[in-house]
Amino acid sequence: MHHMSGPVAHLGYARVDTQRSHRQGMPECVFCPGKTPTQVAEIMAVLFEREGLAVATRASRRTYQAVKQRLPQARYYTKARVVAAGQPKSTIDTLVLVASAGTVDIPVAEEAAVTAELLGLKVERLYDVGVAGLHRLLAEEESLHRADVIVVVAGMEGALASVVGGLVDCPVIAVPTSNGYGASMKGLSALLTMLTSCVPGVAVVNIDNGFGAAALAHRIARVGQPLHSDGGRDGRHPG
């Protein structure tokens, strides 16, 4: 059992932040590596109870099963390795396009796409449009221009972020991936490429951090949204 101390639930090994959606605009999510399946399940139960939405990333199927026992409504997004229970409190009418360079980058792209959906954003996917075959990307320019925010997921040389950033006027969030070999140095090469992009206005997050890209897209989407009476900015409530 946990005990509460103000807005924090003490579990011994964790202090669950149950007012984060108030403070940072989205509930605390669970990063699974380094936690036992039981710990993840216990934290998610607290979050679900307080926030109505519990999300865990980098979750193995075994972790999912532990959560499922505790929260029967939990579901597993296999490609994204995300476990979730509940729904976003509200949706925001902002379209996030998640584009990935290669087939191998899909798990990170799905982590971004699924997280964004769970945070109430609208999401489109555009996969395998790396610059080696530029016409595949240019054929989808309409999709690019329709988006409010674009998340670009790419490993190896990571050039896709610059090319997309040069074609559009909306914020581009670049997610380097650790896919690749040799001089890709586990994503460092793509990371540096994205940071040194000649296109102004590209935001970079950590290697493989699809979750962080979605969280950033969510913060961006809330800019310009009308303020709620509770002091936080928020979107329309679902249904």
Contacts to a copy of itself from residues 52-91, by CB under 8 A = none
> Which stretch, 25-33, 46-54, 61-69, 83-91, contacts a copy of itself (CB under 8 A)?
25-33
Q: 124-128, long-range: CB within 8 Å, 24+ apart, which pairs? A: 124/95, 124/96, 124/97, 124/98, 125/97, 125/98, 125/99, 126/97, 126/98, 126/99, 126/100, 127/99, 127/100, 127/103, 128/100, 128/101, 128/102, 128/103
Supply the minimum distance, in Å, between the C-beta of residue 49 and a copy of itself.
18
Nearer CB in complex with a copy of itself: 72/181:
181
Q: Give yes or no for a contact between 100 and 155, defined as CB atoms under 8 angstroms apart.
A: no
Rg (the chain; Cα; Å): 18
Nearer CB in complex with a copy of itself: 43/74:
43
Supply the minimum distance, in Å, between the C-beta of residue 215 and a copy of itself.
3
Ranges within 96-135 binding a copy of itself (CB under 8 A): 101-104, 106, 127-135
- From 4, 196, 237, 238, residue interacting with a copy of itself (rule: CB under 8 A): 196
Nearer CB in complex with a copy of itself: 7/52:
7
Token pair listed for 5: 């101390």
Give the chain's length: 239
Nearer CB in complex with a copy of itself: 72/195:
195
Nearer CB in complex with a copy of itself: 73/227:
227
- Ranges of beta strands (E only) in 127-239 are 149-154, 172-176, 202-204
Tokens 């607290």 belong to 46
- From 46, 53, 71, 172, residue interacting with a copy of itself (rule: CB under 8 A): 172
Ramachandran region of residue 12, left (φ > 0), alpha (ψ -120 to 50) or beta?
Answer: left
> Which stretch, 13-21, 44-52, 68-76, 82-90, contacts a copy of itself (CB under 8 A)?
13-21
Nearer CB in complex with a copy of itself: 85/221:
221
Nearer CB in complex with a copy of itself: 33/72:
33
- Ranges of beta strands (E only) in 115-199 are 122-126, 149-154, 172-176
- Ranges of beta strands (E only) in the chain are 3-5, 8-10, 15-17, 30-31, 53-57, 75-77, 82-86, 95-100, 122-126, 149-154, 172-176, 202-204
Ranges within 214-233 binding a copy of itself (CB under 8 A): 215-216, 218-225, 231-233
- From 38, 73, 206, 238, residue interacting with a copy of itself (rule: CB under 8 A): 206
> Which stretch, 22-30, 44-52, 64-72, 83-91, contacts a copy of itself (CB under 8 A)?
22-30
163 binds a copy of itself (CB under 8 A): yes
